[in-house]
């Protein structure tokens, strides 16, 4: 491991199997090698401990684990401990248009095929079915997602893609983490060669742990940005008072606080949400801090206790989870799961795996996006919101 002062992103020579993770303040980079430890198994405490014990036996006493936990955490997770890694502060971030201008149009991949999964009109029907369920009183919120399979005319260039994602989400969590298997499928991957890479720029921290202190930042309720400053400001102000979005946000916060109270002696919960923005969306945000009652509870332990939150599943969670499995015509895999890092002492950061794509070949990606539906949701608005979220990623590619 090396800590360094850097004025640049640690992205040179990035290839499949390598690791990159950046928070708003720090970045990590590791290269895949024959001495990389990896496992493809559910992310239980025993699994994590065994991997750290193996690293310790190999003399890696400052080990750090990077991982992907699927939406359905009963399925296998992709967990990796590199033999060495770099850690550095994040440099100043260029504006998105500056990041994009570092590569000419001819040097960037172009999408030669796009296949929505499912078709937008089918997704609209899924939303309408959810509205029927709300009317029946069975559930109050369901987060419905869709995907898009994209074929490019040339391989993904991470040295161009990642800086663009970093610029578009300066206050978020940008990642490229090896996927050792496709969560939700019954395959047994070769642990020497990852099946692909999960890459994205999530706006949402689930849990950060620093000693006994924990930090949780749920987002729920959003609206697209607008290039006209006055319209953009009006959208921001409208979101802050939107009954539908505030109701959706309250489901998320109340459920998270309920779970956190069983782990924390102290909790600081704001009276109401604030509005934060990415380049594409305004979000309602609540920043929660607390003190763990048991210092043995790790960042991933707490993340798994909270996961899936109503922000990416629904409310009540168990009913929403079942309806998602009935309504969505594909497996989410690692989408809307957890992505992050952790040390052997339990400190770490785990974000929700959002605004992302799974690369499974040099030129093949599956993009994902979801939107929270509640009573009063409009199917066309949900189609537009998910399209906006996927387009953020597409703009970073081409």
- Dig out the tokens for 225 from the structure: 């940005």
Fold of 2-96+115-397: Anthranilate synthase (3.60.120)
- Cβ contacts of residue 222 below 8 Å, gap of 6+? 239, 245, 281, 282, 283, 284, 385
Query: Higher confidence at residue 255 or residue 98?
Result: 255
**204 part of the active site:** yes
Q: What is the pLDDT of residues 44-85, one digit of tens each?
A: 999 999 999 999 999 998 999 999 999 999 999 999 999 999
The full set of domain ranges for the chain reads 2-96+115-397
Closest-CA residue to 252 (of 311, 209, 167, 211)? 311
Strand 274-277 vs strand 281-285: parallel, antiparallel, or unpaired?
A: antiparallel
**141 part of the active site:** yes
Percentage of the chain with pLDDT > 70? 92
* Beta bridge mates, 81: 37
Mean per-residue pLDDT, 10-21: 92
Of 3, 57, 110, 141, which one is the catalytic site residue? 141
The pLDDT assigned to 296 comes to 94
Q: What is the pLDDT of residues 233-277, one digit of tens each?
A: 999 999 999 998 999 899 899 999 999 999 999 999 999 999 998
The pLDDT assigned to 192 comes to 65
Mean pLDDT of the chain: 90
Rounded to whole angstroms, how far apart are CA atoms 157 and 207?
Answer: 30
pTM beyond 0.85, yes or no:
yes
Of 3, 49, 160, 204, which one is the catalytic site residue? 204
Mean per-residue pLDDT, 272-291: 92
* For residue 144, pLDDT beyond 70: yes
Q: Which of 152-161, 168-177, 179-188, 337-346 has the highest mean pLDDT?
A: 337-346
- What's the distance, Cα to Cα, between the start and end of the chain in Å? 34
Of the pLDDT bands very low, low, confident and very high (cuts 50, 70, 90), residue 101 is very low
The pLDDT assigned to 120 comes to 96
Please report which helix (H) or strand (E) contains residue 302, including its range.
Answer: helix 299-306
- Cβ contacts of residue 345 below 8 Å, gap of 6+? none
């Amino acid at each position: 491991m090396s800590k360094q002062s850097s004025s640049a992103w640690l992205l040179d020579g990035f290839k499949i199997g390598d690791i990159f993770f950046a928070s708003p303040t720090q970045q990590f980079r590791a290269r895949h090698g024959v001495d990389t430890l990896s496992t493809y198994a559910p992310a239980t405490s025993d699994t994590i401990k065994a991997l750290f014990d193996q690293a310790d036996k190999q003399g890696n006493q400052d080990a750090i684990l990077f991982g992907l936990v699927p939406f359905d955490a009963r399925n296998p997770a992709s967990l990796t401990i590199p033999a060495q890694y770099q850690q550095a502060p994040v440099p100043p971030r260029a504006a998105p248009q500056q990041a994009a201008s570092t590569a000419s149009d001819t040097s960037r991949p172009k999408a030669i095929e796009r296949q929505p999964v499912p078709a937008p009109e089918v997704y609209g029907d899924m939303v309408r079915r959810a509205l029927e369920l709300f009317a029946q009183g069975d559930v109050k919120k369901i987060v419905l997602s869709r995907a898009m399979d994209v074929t490019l005319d040339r391989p993904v260039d991470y040295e161009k893609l990642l800086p663009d994602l970093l610029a578009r989400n300066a206050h978020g969590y940008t990642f490229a983490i090896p996927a050792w298997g496709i969560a939700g499928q019954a395959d047994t991957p070769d642990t020497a060669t990852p099946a692909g890479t999960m890459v994205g720029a999530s706006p949402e921290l689930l849990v950060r742990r620093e000693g006994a202190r924990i930090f949780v930042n749920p987002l729920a309720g959003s609206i697209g940005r607008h290039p006209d400053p006055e319209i953009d400001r009006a959208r921001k102000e409208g979101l802050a008072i939107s009954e539908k979005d505030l109701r959706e946000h309250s489901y998320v916060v109340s459920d998270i606080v309920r779970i956190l109270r069983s782990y924390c002696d102290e909790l600081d919960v704001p009276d109401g949400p604030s509005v934060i923005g990415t380049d594409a969306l305004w979000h309602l945000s609540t920043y929660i801090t607390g003190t763990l009652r048991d210092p043995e509870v790790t960042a991933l332990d707490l993340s798994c206790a909270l996961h899936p939150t109503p922000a990416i599943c629904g409310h009540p969670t168990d009913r929403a989870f079942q309806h998602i499995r009935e309504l969505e015509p594909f497996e989410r895999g690692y989408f809307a799961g957890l992505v992050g890092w952790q040390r052997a002492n339990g400190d770490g950061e785990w974000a929700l795996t959002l605004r992302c794509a799974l690369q499974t070949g040099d030129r093949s990606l599956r993009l994902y996006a979801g939107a929270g539906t509640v009573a009063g949701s409009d199917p066309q608005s949900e189609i537009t919101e998910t399209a906006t979220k996927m387009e953020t990623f597409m703009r970073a590619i081409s």
